[in-house]
Amino acid sequence: MQYMLMIFDDPKRIAQLPEAQRREFQQAYADFTQGLVKSGHFRAGAQLQPVSAATVVRAPGGKLSTTDGPFVETKEHLGGYYLVECKDLDEAVAIAARVPSVALSSGAVEVRPLVPTSEAARTPPAR
């Protein structure tokens, strides 16, 4: 079963860390990612640009509308993700608990199972 681990953190808090701590935090992510690859759980992952680089696309009444920047006011932002292969939710949660934003800071990781590919091909995304 595949799970998306969506990483939420407060970018302002991270930016305020002393340089040495920020480097340690970045190294913790590099080590964590390397460990996922070695364990065979890793399928994909990436850090996202800041929310200021986001564009929201909507089509109210069929008319295309785009909005720059964040679309909600929150302290925590989606900063990146991992797509992992796990035997069950318990294993995915155990991996999520080791994500540096959880293990070393006040961040959070949302764990969400993916719809299996054969089922996803038959079912349009929910709106």
pLDDT in the model for residue 125: 64
For the chain, domain boundaries: 2-122
Q: How far apart are CA 13 and CA 10, in angstroms?
A: 5
10-residue block means of pLDDT along the chain (127 residues)?
Answer: 94 90 94 97 94 83 81 77 96 95 85 83 63
> What is the fold of 2-122?
Alpha-Beta Plaits (3.30.70)
**Which tokens belong to 80?**
């990146």
pLDDT in the model for residue 70: 60
With CA atoms as reference, report the closest residue to 80 among 102, 59, 58, 56. 102
Here the contacts of 33-41 (C-beta below 8 Å, separation 24 or greater) are 33/82, 36/82, 36/84, 36/95, 40/85, 41/84, 41/85, 41/86, 41/95
pLDDT in the model for residue 91: 96
pLDDT in the model for residue 56: 80
pLDDT in the model for residue 114: 95
pLDDT in the model for residue 40: 98
Q: What values do phi and psi take at 56, rounded to 5? A: -100, 130
pLDDT in the model for residue 61: 87
Q: How far apart are CA 82 and CA 95, in angstroms?
A: 10
